[in-house]
Amino acid sequence: MRISQIELSALLAAVLLAGCGTTVPSLNYSVPTQPEGSSGYTEKPGWQTAKFAVAAANPLATDAGFQVLKAGGSAVDAAIAVQMVLTLVEPQSSGIGGGAFLMHFDGKSVEAYDGRETAPAAADESLFLKPDGTPMAFIEGVVGGRSVGVPGTVRMLELAHRQHGKLPWASLFQPAITLAEQGFKVSARLNMLLAAEPHLKKDPVAAAYFYDGSGQPWPVGHVLKNPELAQVLRDIAAGGSKALLEGPVAQAIVDKVRSHPSNPGRMTRADLSGYQSRKREPLCRDHAVLPQKVYRICGFPPPSSGAIAIGQMLGILQNTAGAALPLGQDGLPTADWLHFYTEAARLAFADRALYVADPDFVAPPAGSWMSLLSPDYLADRARLIGNQSMKVAQPGHPGGTQTSFAPMPDQPEYGTSHISIVDAQGRAVAMTTTIEDVFGARQMVKGFLLNNELTDFSFAPRDAKGNAFANRVQPGKRPRSSMSPTLVFDKTTGQLVMSGGSPGGALIIHFTAKTLWGTLHWGLNAQQAINLPNFGSANGPTLLEEKRFPVATDEALKARGHEVREMNMTSGLQAIQRVPGGYFGGADPRREGVVMGD
């Protein structure tokens, strides 16, 4: 029997990456039956498991992670398999052409793996300025090559696997390769998003893949095959991240970015080959729940703004009358509680706009990001909350900080997908992954979509007075993110309590905070907390999920001076919590995710 070069390379990679154990578990993937999913709101029961659990945004992705865990794989192994399948079946949200943040707990310590995209070396602060010096409209910047950042997901996962993988690297690509070659059924959600998408057809490659000959999206249940992606995944399985960031695939990415007919980008082969993932110190803070319980909440540090904003909101809220308020008799957050919560959010988002950016380019206030989470500082900020809404908050000065930066104006953020996993040894992952907007930059290359992550930078580099924004474009810089993968622990025992997170742009912060408060303060299980209606404020209007709150809540908030906007707030929360006898997982009824375990 002849062995091809690719097969030989895959075999060698499997041996080298498997570690030094004498007995290596193996994965024999089998394609599951794919049920017809629904779009919109679908009630979910929550899932009880005994030994391990995996929660992801698509049933096929969840099943891939489940099969990896069943085969003896680690939480990191399962996350890799889940991500590769999501690249195929949920291409609108994440993939190998994007970036991710991964929180990992090995049973003793917490680590933060940064796979955030970076700006090309040729990018500068004028990247999103028109010839007259004014910022482009958001969608003008998004569609094309201009917005594409150097993808980091695969290299980050490679680093995490090197340190925490149990199964061979190559085997973790087997589920996605099999599904890409044999095909998967188009889900209701993917069909719905394709039907509503006005820009993806402008890319001939994407149009030929996602739409039929008459320009209609493939119908629900259509079996969609992606042999080009299968080949790229085979190459990465054999050669690691170099197969994506060097060689023919890298050249194809660069050609796609630089040759866009109306909106080219500045990426080079050197940008791709030079990408480095980072291990960062996680942001962990104590969170007391009266009368006696103290939790340790760990989240992702900058360039994510998520852990800081969530920590500020929860900490400020604890210093108000809202800390003791229960859910209303209807099982929903009350207007009084929403008042205190959204005021705390305004204060947190004001600080976020001024201070948070890539820490390799911007120093933290008072020399530490923890200055923004100092109990004294949060207590001072809480004193600014009164009976009437402040409408728009001003940033604070932690540790007496003075800065020359200007607060960045609010800008659209979209997209992403979240994965939570706990394996049979108690190791845990919380990973949020993204290509930013729905279908990213609307540029498809070799079977996968490219991100538009650079639009997470401020389009305008400075304010009207010439003061720079901390989150402006700079060469090699990571754009600020709202992704909030979160791990929660019992401070007394050190035991894992929960893994969770969500997609949703800047609203990720609120979706995750809602789940934390619901489980830790209101005693809800993960599914019940996820099911609660969404709400928030980005330091502007008070946002309520449409058709989920009674009219009386709206009126009571307006009586307190709130400008209330009801809107679609489609979270995609996933959470796994420890319960007696094992774990309990929840998945968002607003999307198609599920939880599986044993």
What structural domains and CATH numbers belong to the chain?
Answer: 50-305+356-362+405-534+569-598 (3.60.20.40)
Write out pLDDT tens, residues 111-151.
999 999 999 999 999 999 999 999 999 999 999 999 999 99
Instruction: Give dist(CA 99, CA 433) in Å, integer.
Output: 6
Report residue 414's pLDDT band, with 50, 70 and 90 as the boundaries.
confident
Please check the confidence at residue 8 and state whether its pLDDT lies above 70. Answer: no
Instruction: Give dist(CA 197, CA 146) in Å, integer.
Output: 19
Report residue 41's pLDDT band, with 50, 70 and 90 as the boundaries.
confident
Report residue 25's pLDDT band, with 50, 70 and 90 as the boundaries.
confident
Q: Are 498 and 422 in contact (CB under 8 A)?
A: no
State percent of the chain over pLDDT 90: 91
* DSSP line for 497-516: EEEEE--SGGGHHHHHHHHH
Nearest Cα neighbor of 415 from 53, 97, 60 is 97
Write out pLDDT tens, residues 206-218.
999 999 999 999 9
Q: Are 451 and 149 in contact (CB under 8 A)?
A: yes
* DSSP line for 361-384: TSPPGGG-GGGGG-HHHHHHHHTT
Q: Which of 342, 416, 432, 434 is catalytic?
A: 416
Instruction: Give dist(CA 416, CA 435) in Å, integer.
Output: 6
Instruction: Give dist(CA 421, CA 69) in Å, integer.
Output: 9
Cis check for the bond before 303: say yes or no (omega within 30 of 0): yes
Element (H, E) at 351: helix 335-355
Write out pLDDT tens, residues 417-445.
999 999 999 999 999 999 999 999 999 99
Nearest Cα neighbor of 152 from 283, 274, 306 is 274
- Reading the block at residue 597, the tokens are 């375990």
Report residue 224's pLDDT band, with 50, 70 and 90 as the boundaries.
very high
User: Can 416 be counted among the known catalytic residues?
Assistant: yes
CA 434 to chain centre: 6
- Reading the block at residue 485, the tokens are 């993968």
Which residues, 6+ apart, have CB-to-CB distance to 80 below 8 Å? 157, 161, 165, 169, 172, 173
- The pTM of the full predicted model, rounded to 2 decimals, is 0.94
Provide mean pLDDT across the span 42-54: 96
Q: How confident is the prediction for the chain on average, in pLDDT?
A: 94
- At 573 the pLDDT is 97
Burial 348-363 (b: 16+ CB within 10 A, else e): bbbbbbbbbbbbebbe
Write out pLDDT tens, residues 444-460.
999 999 999 999 999 99
- At 329 the pLDDT is 96
